[in-house]
């Protein structure tokens, strides 16, 4: 099922002089604690390959495009992000892999928690065990 994964639109202010989109606390269903971004990603490179126990994140392709491969422990879903006015909410307990980055693409990540290494599950079998125990 796609529980735990959702596309959320980001308000867009369109003008002749260009567009502006804004992510505020109420755009996402969590309090924003951290923002980071992936850029200068070489062709063919893959990111992610882990799940989080608590962290929720909101991913936006600010520029270019990339695919997010999602797995809830039962089913795989692939979402292509390529719009700066739409983001992907990934709740906790979802395995994610990012691939097929277009050249010059930028992935903005808005996160519900500060960086905590202990929140990561980096082994897929361990992840499947973890979600089945929840």
User: What amino acid positions are annotated as catalytic residues?
Assistant: 50
Which residues would be at the binding site for ligand T46 (CB under 6 A)? 34, 36, 38, 47-48, 57, 96, 98, 109, 115
> Which run of H or of E encompasses 67?
strand 66-71
Helix (H, G, I), strand (E, B) or coil at 132: helix
Q: How far is the CB of 47 from ligand T46 (least distance, A)?
A: 3
Judge whether 55 and 131 are in contact, CB under 8 Å.
no
Q: Where are the alpha helices (H) located in the chain, listed in sequence order?
A: 124-133
For residues 66 and 5, what is the distance between their CA atoms, to the nearest angstrom?
16
Nearer to ligand T46 among residue 14 and residue 40 (C-beta): 40
Nearer to ligand T46 among residue 21 and residue 70 (C-beta): 70
Nearest to 1 by CA among 47, 70, 56, 55: 70
Q: How far is the CB of 55 from ligand T46 (least distance, A)?
A: 6
Q: How far is the CB of 68 from ligand T46 (least distance, A)?
A: 8
For residues 17 and 30, what is the distance between their CA atoms, to the nearest angstrom?
32
Nearer to ligand T46 among residue 2 and residue 19 (C-beta): 2
């Amino acid at each position: 099922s796609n529980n735990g994964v959702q596309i959320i639109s980001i308000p867009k202010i369109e003008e002749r002089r260009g567009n502006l989109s804004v992510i505020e606390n109420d755009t996402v269903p969590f309090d924003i604690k951290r923002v980071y971004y992936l850029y200068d990603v070489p062709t063919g490179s893959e990111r992610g390959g882990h799940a989080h126990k608590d962290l929720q994140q909101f991913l936006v392709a600010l520029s270019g495009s990339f695919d997010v491969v999602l797995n809830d422990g039962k089913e795989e879903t692939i979402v292509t992000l390529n719009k700066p006015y739409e983001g992907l909410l990934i709740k906790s307990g979802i395995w994610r892999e990012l691939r097929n980055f277009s050249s010059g693409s930028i992935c903005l990540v808005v996160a519900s928690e500060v960086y905590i290494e202990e929140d990561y599950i980096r082994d897929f079998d361990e992840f499947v065990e973890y979600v089945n125990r929840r």
